[in-house]
Amino acid sequence: MTADETTWRLILDGPRDGAANMAIDRALLDVMEGRLLEGDAPHPILRLYAWDLPTVSTGRHQPLDEACDLEACREEGIPVVQRPTGGRAVLHEDEVTYAVVAPAEGRFGGAGVTAASAVLAEALARGLGLLGADVASVRGTPVASARAAREACFLSASRSEIVVSGRKLCGSAQFRGRGAFLQHGALPIVFDAERQARLLRSDAQLLKRHAIGLAEALGRRPSVDEVHDALRSGFEEVTACGFERVGLSREESSRAEQLAVTLRSEPARFLAGAASR
| Domains with residue ranges and CATH for the chain | 7-271 (3.30.930.10)
Task: Give me the pLDDT at residue 84, please.
Answer: 93
Instruction: Calculate Rg over the CA atoms of the chain.
Output: 17
Task: Give me the pLDDT at residue 217, please.
Answer: 97
Q: Quick one: how far is CA 166 from the chain centroid?
A: 20
Task: Give me the pLDDT at residue 41, please.
Answer: 87
Task: Give me the pLDDT at residue 143, please.
Answer: 43
Would you please indicate which residues are annotated as catalytic (active-site) residues? 153
Dihedral angle sign, alpha carbons of residues 111, 112, 118, 123: positive
Task: Give me the pLDDT at residue 121, please.
Answer: 93
- Rounded to two decimals, the pTM is 0.91
Task: Give me the pLDDT at residue 61, please.
Answer: 87
Task: Give me the pLDDT at residue 244, please.
Answer: 97
Q: Which stretches of the chain score pLDDT less than 70?
A: 1-4, 106-112, 139-151, 159, 273-277
Task: Give me the pLDDT at residue 36, please.
Answer: 93
Query: Model confidence over 124-140: pLDDT tens digits?
Result: 999 999 999 999 887 65
Sheet of 7-16: strand order equals: 136-137, 162-164, 167-176, 180-188, 95-103, 45-51, 7-16, 242-245
Task: Say how many Å lie between the first and final Cα of the chain, rounded.
Answer: 26
